[in-house]
Amino acid sequence: MARAFGGPGKYVQRAGEIARLGEHLAPLGRRPLFLVDRALFEPMAAAIAAALGADVRPRFERFGGECCSAEIGRVTAIAVEERADVVVGVGGGKTADTAKIVAIETGARIVIVPTIASTDAPCSAVAVRYTKDGVYETSLRLARNPDLVLVDSAIVAAAPPRFLIAGIGDALSTWFEARSNLESRTDNYVAGGFPAPLAGIAIARHCHDVLMRDALKARTAVEAGLLTTAVENIIEANTLLSGLGFENCGCAAAHGIHDGLTVLDEVHGVFHGEKVAFGTLCLLMLENREQAEIEATVRFCRALGLPTRLADLGIVADVREKVERVAAAALAPGAIIHATPVRLSVPIVRDAILALDAFATTLG
């Protein structure tokens, strides 16, 4: 009968909102540390500096590229040295997760400014830590959600379309994994774990509805350099709806298979959401869902350019052996795949992945 809901203190999405960042930061602190993705460091640092008040003492730092122990330690030391009262992550999901962890470690407020909508990391009190080589290590349950998530949709829409499409792949898992957790009666990620609240379930389901309605329109628009209502809706679905959905309902085999895939060198150039999209298809096969649902989801992914076969991930040699390694890694004790409401073993997960690959191949 219990339930709990978690989310960011405030979510703001509007084209040009980066120019108002100073107004949003004013109630939170005066000594912000900005952790900024390397590829966008100069333009974003300049835009942010122009938006800050004269009484603010910012420090801008380039993100090292991986949310790993070494990078977390490096940035934490800078935050302590600067006596930062706000840590602001500016960039993608790994930048956001690093900023969240550092803020928790130092007692600072948390602000996330996504420059892409490729993952649902920004809003949650969950952070994923990897090795320095990008292999999944652990998911951390943090004590607090971000105080503010500020999304300048003009910046997000101007990013290469592949990022938005990858975010759709990540968001695609939200409802399917929520359904898995509801059926297995697994607790969510809020306050140590509670049954999913009605609000979280409704958000996860609506996230799916928005993707089905607007994803293809949004892809076409961003490929043409346009910011439309469909694009705004997909940015919100990828960032807010998916973030609230997964935190309040839970993940399962879609993300579990993603985590297992990170042990393979072939997939290190594949985006998080692309791997999750493939994992979602495998989840549906693992749960033996209706053929029509699996086929429709494969066709949806294919229409967007998301991977539907192992070859799309670069896995073309020693396939069975590599998929067995993926299954074994996914099934580590305590891993999120165990929320899936079916019997699990390495052979069962391996064969579900291979069966999905074979089924997708038959669709042409």
The catalytic position among 85, 152, 272, 357 is 272
The confidence score (pLDDT) of residue 364 equals 74
- Residue 338 a catalytic site member: no
Q: Strand 32-36 to strand 86-91: parallel, antiparallel, or no bridges (unpaired)?
A: parallel
Residue 357 assigned to a binding site: no
Residue 343 domain-assigned (yes or no): yes
Please tell me whether residues 79 and 172 are part of one structural domain.
no
Residue 210 to residue 63: CA distance in whole angstroms: 32
Please tell me whether residues 118 and 243 are part of one structural domain.
no
Residue 272 assigned to a binding site: yes
Residue 215 to residue 230: CA distance in whole angstroms: 7
Helix (H, G, I), strand (E, B) or coil at 332: coil
Please tell me whether residues 119 and 207 are part of one structural domain.
no
Please tell me whether residues 91 and 177 are part of one structural domain.
no
The catalytic position among 37, 258, 259, 312 is 258
Residue 192 assigned to a binding site: no
Residue 318 assigned to a binding site: no
Please tell me whether residues 236 and 302 are part of one structural domain.
yes
Residue 243 assigned to a binding site: no
> Whose structure tokens read 């990008």?
134
Give the residue from 157, 173, 203 where a domain finishes.
157
- Residue 312 a catalytic site member: no
> Whose structure tokens read 């795949």?
337
The confidence score (pLDDT) of residue 53 equals 87
- Residue 272 a catalytic site member: yes
Residue 41 domain-assigned (yes or no): yes
The catalytic position among 147, 152, 208, 255 is 255
The confidence score (pLDDT) of residue 256 equals 97
The confidence score (pLDDT) of residue 1 equals 82
Please tell me whether residues 170 and 258 are part of one structural domain.
yes
Residue 322 domain-assigned (yes or no): yes
Residue 130 assigned to a binding site: yes
Give the residue from 129, 157, 185 where a domain finishes.
157
Residue 3 domain-assigned (yes or no): no
Q: Strand 126-130 to strand 136-141: parallel, antiparallel, or no bridges (unpaired)?
A: antiparallel
Task: Tell me the CATH number at 192.
Answer: 1.20.1090.10
Residue ranges for the chain with pLDDT beneath 70: none
Residue 5 domain-assigned (yes or no): no
Residue 95 assigned to a binding site: yes
Give the residue from 111, 129, 157 where a domain finishes.
157
Residue 322 assigned to a binding site: no
- Residue 147 a catalytic site member: no
Task: Tell me the CATH number at 62.
Answer: 3.40.50.1970
Residue 80 to residue 77: CA distance in whole angstroms: 5
Please tell me whether residues 326 and 241 are part of one structural domain.
yes
The catalytic position among 147, 170, 214, 312 is 170
What letter represents residue 249's amino acid?
C
Residue 2 domain-assigned (yes or no): no
Per-residue pLDDT tens over the stretch 63-89 = 999 999 999 999 999 999 999 999 999
Please tell me whether residues 275 and 214 are part of one structural domain.
yes
Please tell me whether residues 41 and 31 are part of one structural domain.
yes
Domain containing 40 equals: 11-157
Residue 192 to residue 141: CA distance in whole angstroms: 8
Residue 299 to residue 301: CA distance in whole angstroms: 5
Question: How many Cα atoms within 13 Å fall on the side-chain side of residue 127?
Answer: 27
Residue 161 to residue 165: CA distance in whole angstroms: 6
Total domains in the chain come to: 2
Residue 1 domain-assigned (yes or no): no
Residue 245 to residue 127: CA distance in whole angstroms: 15
Structure token digits, residue 161: 């379309």
Please tell me whether residues 149 and 185 are part of one structural domain.
no
Please tell me whether residues 314 and 181 are part of one structural domain.
yes
Please tell me whether residues 205 and 321 are part of one structural domain.
yes
